[in-house]
Structures are given as structure tokens and as C-alpha cells.
Amino acid sequence: MSAEAVVLNKVFGILRRELSAEEYVTYLQIVTPRIGDATKELRKKTKDLSLEGIIKGAKKIEKKGR
């Protein structure tokens, strides 16, 4: 596992323990530049996702980028 993957796994573990799903979406807004009301858009897009679902989706995206 690469050093980046190790760090990301630690970050996801911390986020999972410390943030609610809405806080995680807010975190994504902060670290991802967007145009418009990103929090509102992300809430709509992720309203049916659990934090686990969000993390799984992020991991899938990460794997595709390799």
C-alpha cells in the first residue's frame, strides 16, 4: 500500500469516528472547490447515503484514479 493510501485510510478512519454525515459533506465542500451552493447540492446528492456509503464511494473513485 502506498504512503498516500495509508494516510487516506487514516483520514477516513478519523472522519468516520468524528464527523456526522452532514459534517463530512461540509468537509468535502471545504476541500473541494465548487461553484454555487455546494453544501446544498451535496446534501441533495447524498441524502440517502450513510457515512459508510460516502467513504466507499470515495474509495472507488480513488481506485479508478490509479
pTM equals 0.39
* C-beta of residue 3 within 8 angstroms of C-beta of residue 15: no
Of 3-7, 36-40, 51-55, the poorest mean pLDDT is in: 36-40
- At residue 63 the predicted structure's pLDDT band, cuts being 50, 70 and 90, is confident
Q: Give the rounded percent of residues in the chain with a pLDDT score beyond 90.
A: 2
pLDDT reading at 2 higher than 80: yes
Reference 57, options 31, 35, 25; nearest CA is: 25
